[in-house]
Structure 1
Amino acid sequence: MKKITFIFLFGISSVCVEAQSYVGFLTDNYSGVNSVIANPANITDSRFKTDINLVGVSVFGGNDYYGVNIMDAFKDDYDFDLDAKKHPSKDNNAAINLDVMGPAFMFNLNKKSSIAIFTRARSMVNINEINGTTIDNVDDDTTDDFNVNEGDFNMFTHAWAELGVTYARVLFNEEEHFLKGGLTLKYLQGGGTAYAVGKNVTIDYDADGTDLGGGESTGSISSTGQITYGRFADFDNDDYDYELPDASGFGADLGFVYEWRPNYADYTKTNAAGDSYTQKDKNKYKLKLGLSITDIGSIKYKEGLQDTYDITNTGINEDDFEDADDIDDILNTFYTLEKSSQGIKAKLPTALHLNADWSFNSKLYVNLNTDLSLVSKGKENASRISNTLSLTPRFESKWLSFYVPLSVVENNGFQAGAGLRAGPLYVGSGSVLTALTGDNSKGADVYAGLKIPIYQGKPRDKDDDGIIDKLDKCPKVAGPIENNGCPWGDKDNDGILDNVDACPEEAGPEENNGCPWGDKDGDSLLDNVDGCPEVAGPVENNGCPWKDSDNDGVLDKDDNCIDVPGTVANNGCPEEIVPEVTEEVQKTLNAYAKTILFDSGKSTIKSVSNGVLNDIVNILAKYPNAKFSIEGHTDSVGNDVSNQKLSESRASSVMTFLIEKGVASSRLSSTGFGESKPMATNATSAGRADNRRVEINLVK
Structure 2
Amino acid sequence: MKKIALLFLLLVNAICLDAQSYIGFLTDNYSGVNSVIANPANIVDSRFKTDINLVGASTFGGNDYYGLNIMNAIKEDYDFDLSAKKSPSNSNNLGLNIDVMGPSFMFNINKKSSIAIFTRARAFVNVNDINGESIDVLDEDNITDYNLNEGDFNGAGHAWGELGITYARILFNEEEHFFKGGLTLKYLQGGGSAYVSGKNLVVDYDEDGTVIPGVGTTGSVTSTGEAAYGRYTDFEDDDYDYELPKATGFGADLGFVYEWRPSYADYTATNSNGTAYTYKDKNKYKLKLGLSITDIGSIKYKDGIEESFNINGIDISEDDINNEEDLNDILNNLYTRTKSTNGYKVILPTALHLNADWSFNRRLYLNLNTDLSLISKSKEKASRISNVVSLTPRFESKWFSFYLPISVIQNNGFQAGAGLRAGPLYVGSGSVLTVLTSDNSKGADVYAGLKIPVYQGKPKDKDEDGVIDKLDECPKVAGPVENNGCPWGDQDGDSILDNVDKCPEEAGPEENNGCPWGDQDRDLVLDNVDACVSVAGPVENNGCPWKDTDNDGVYDKDDECINEAGTVANNGCPEPEVTVEVQKTLNDYAKTILFNTGKASIKAESNEVLVEIVKILKEYPKATFTVEGHTDSSGSDALNKKLSDSRANTVKDFLVENGVDQSRLTALGYGESKPVATNATREGRAQNRRVEINLVKE
Does the 8 Å CA contact 1:295/1:351 hold for their aligned counterparts?
yes
Q: Which amino acid aligns with 2:470?
A: K
Which aligned pairs between 1:510-549 and structure 2 lie closer than 5 A?
none
Q: What runs of 5+ residues in structure 1 fail to find an aligned partner?
A: 500-700
Does the 8 Å CA contact 2:8/2:135 hold for their aligned counterparts?
no
Q: Which amino acid aligns with 1:481?
A: V
Corresponding residue for residue 21 of structure 2:
21
What secondary structure is seen at the aligned counterpart in 2 of 1:472?
A: coil
What secondary structure is seen at the aligned counterpart in 1 of 2:11?
A: coil
Q: Which amino acid aligns with 2:292?
A: S
What secondary structure is seen at the aligned counterpart in 1 of 2:12?
A: coil
Corresponding residue for residue 397 of structure 2:
397
Is 1:205 aligned with 2:202?
no
Indicate the percent of aligned positions where both proteins have the same amino acid. 73
Corresponding residue for residue 157 of structure 2:
157
Corresponding residue for residue 139 of structure 1:
139
Instruction: Pick which of 12-21 and 246-255 moved more.
Output: 12-21
Does the 8 Å CA contact 1:17/1:98 hold for their aligned counterparts?
no
What secondary structure is seen at the aligned counterpart in 2 of 1:35?
A: helix
Post-superposition offset of 1:460: 1.1
What secondary structure is seen at the aligned counterpart in 2 of 1:476?
A: coil
What secondary structure is seen at the aligned counterpart in 1 of 2:368?
A: strand
Corresponding residue for residue 2 of structure 1:
2
Is 1:59 aligned with 2:71?
no
Distance 1:326 1:141 in 2: 22
Q: Which amino acid aligns with 1:304?
A: G
Corresponding residue for residue 252 of structure 2:
252
Corresponding residue for residue 224 of structure 1:
224
Q: What are the Cα deviations for residues 600-635 of structure 1, in whole angstroms up to 9, with x where unaligned?
A: xxxxxxxxxxxxxxxxxxxxxxxxxxxxxxxxxxxx
Does the 8 Å CA contact 1:228/1:307 hold for their aligned counterparts?
yes
Corresponding residue for residue 298 of structure 2:
298
Does the 8 Å CA contact 2:14/2:95 hold for their aligned counterparts?
no
Corresponding residue for residue 88 of structure 1:
88
Corresponding residue for residue 589 of structure 1:
none
Q: What are the Cα deviations for residues 72-109 of structure 1, in whole angstroms up to 9, with x where unaligned?
A: 11222211122111101111101100000000000000
Distance 2:202 2:498 in 1: 93
Distance 1:491 1:330 in 2: 99
Q: What are the Cα deviations for residues 226-246 of structure 1, in whole angstroms up to 9, with x where unaligned?
A: 001111112122333221000
Distance 1:205 1:491 in 2: 106
Q: Which amino acid aligns with 2:53?
A: N
Q: Which amino acid aligns with 1:417?
A: G
Post-superposition offset of 1:454: 0.6
Which aligned pairs between 1:280-319 and structure 2 lie closer than 5 A?
280-319=280-319
Distance 2:105 2:234 in 1: 36
Which aligned pairs between 1:55-454 and structure 2 lie closer than 5 A?
55-214=55-214, 216-454=216-454
Does the 8 Å CA contact 1:275/1:471 hold for their aligned counterparts?
yes
**TM-score normalised by structure 2 residue count:** 0.69
Does the 8 Å CA contact 1:62/1:411 hold for their aligned counterparts?
no
Distance 2:459 2:426 in 1: 27
Change (3 A) 1:425 1:492: farther
Q: Which amino acid aligns with 2:197?
A: V
Which aligned pairs between 1:438-587 and structure 2 lie closer than 5 A?
438-489=438-489
What secondary structure is seen at the aligned counterpart in 2 of 1:315?
A: strand
Post-superposition offset of 1:498: 9.8
Post-superposition offset of 1:479: 2.2
Is 1:12 aligned with 2:12?
yes
Change (3 A) 1:498 1:346: farther
Post-superposition offset of 1:326: 2.2
Q: Which amino acid aligns with 2:26?
A: L
Post-superposition offset of 1:142: 4.2
Does the 8 Å CA contact 1:12/1:93 hold for their aligned counterparts?
no
Does the 8 Å CA contact 2:173/2:179 hold for their aligned counterparts?
yes
Post-superposition offset of 1:491: 8.4
What secondary structure is seen at the aligned counterpart in 1 of 2:379?
A: coil
Distance 1:33 1:442 in 2: 31
Post-superposition offset of 1:212: 2.5
Q: Which amino acid aligns with 1:333?
A: N
Does the 8 Å CA contact 1:196/1:230 hold for their aligned counterparts?
yes
Structure with larger Rg: 2
Distance 1:2 1:423 in 2: 52
Q: What are the Cα deviations for residues 528-571 of structure 1, in whole angstroms up to 9, with x where unaligned?
A: xxxxxxxxxxxxxxxxxxxxxxxxxxxxxxxxxxxxxxxxxxxx
Does the 8 Å CA contact 2:137/2:143 hold for their aligned counterparts?
no
Post-superposition offset of 1:145: 2.5
Does the 8 Å CA contact 1:369/1:390 hold for their aligned counterparts?
yes
Post-superposition offset of 1:208: 2.7
Does the 8 Å CA contact 1:290/1:356 hold for their aligned counterparts?
yes
Distance 1:492 1:37 in 2: 62
Post-superposition offset of 1:463: 0.7
Change (3 A) 1:267 1:222: same
Post-superposition offset of 1:26: 0.3
Post-superposition offset of 1:341: 1.1
Q: What are the Cα deviations for residues 655-682 of structure 1, in whole angstroms up to 9, with x where unaligned?
A: xxxxxxxxxxxxxxxxxxxxxxxxxxxx
Distance 1:308 1:224 in 2: 14
Post-superposition offset of 1:136: 1.5
What secondary structure is seen at the aligned counterpart in 2 of 1:4?
A: helix
Distance 2:293 2:276 in 1: 34
Post-superposition offset of 1:490: 7.4
Post-superposition offset of 1:71: 1.5
Q: Which amino acid aligns with 1:368?
A: L
Corresponding residue for residue 33 of structure 1:
33
Post-superposition offset of 1:200: 0.5
Post-superposition offset of 1:474: 1.1
Q: What are the Cα deviations for residues 9-66 of structure 1, in whole angstroms up to 9, with x where unaligned?
A: 4223543141100001000111110010000000000000100000000000111111
Does the 8 Å CA contact 1:12/1:65 hold for their aligned counterparts?
no
Does the 8 Å CA contact 1:406/1:414 hold for their aligned counterparts?
yes
Post-superposition offset of 1:473: 1.2
Post-superposition offset of 1:148: 1.0
Q: What are the Cα deviations for residues 319-367 of structure 1, in whole angstroms up to 9, with x where unaligned?
A: 2212212222111101111111111000000000000000000000000
Does the 8 Å CA contact 2:254/2:294 hold for their aligned counterparts?
yes
Change (3 A) 1:222 1:349: same
Does the 8 Å CA contact 2:17/2:93 hold for their aligned counterparts?
no
Post-superposition offset of 1:489: 3.9
Post-superposition offset of 1:188: 0.3
Distance 1:44 1:262 in 2: 20
Change (3 A) 1:13 1:161: closer
Corresponding residue for residue 526 of structure 2:
none
What secondary structure is seen at the aligned counterpart in 1 of 2:75?
A: coil
Distance 2:396 2:406 in 1: 17
Does the 8 Å CA contact 2:17/2:412 hold for their aligned counterparts?
no
Distance 1:212 1:355 in 2: 64
Post-superposition offset of 1:371: 0.3
What secondary structure is seen at the aligned counterpart in 1 of 2:320?
A: helix
**TM-score normalised by structure 1 residue count:** 0.69
Q: What runs of 5+ residues in structure 2 fail to find an aligned partner?
A: 500-698
Instruction: Pick which of 310-319 and 116-125 moved more.
Output: 310-319
Query: What is the CA RMSD across the aligned residues, in angstroms?
Result: 1.9
Q: Which amino acid aligns with 2:342?
A: Q
Post-superposition offset of 1:209: 2.3
Does the 8 Å CA contact 1:17/1:59 hold for their aligned counterparts?
no
Change (3 A) 1:174 1:320: same
Q: Which amino acid aligns with 1:218?
A: T
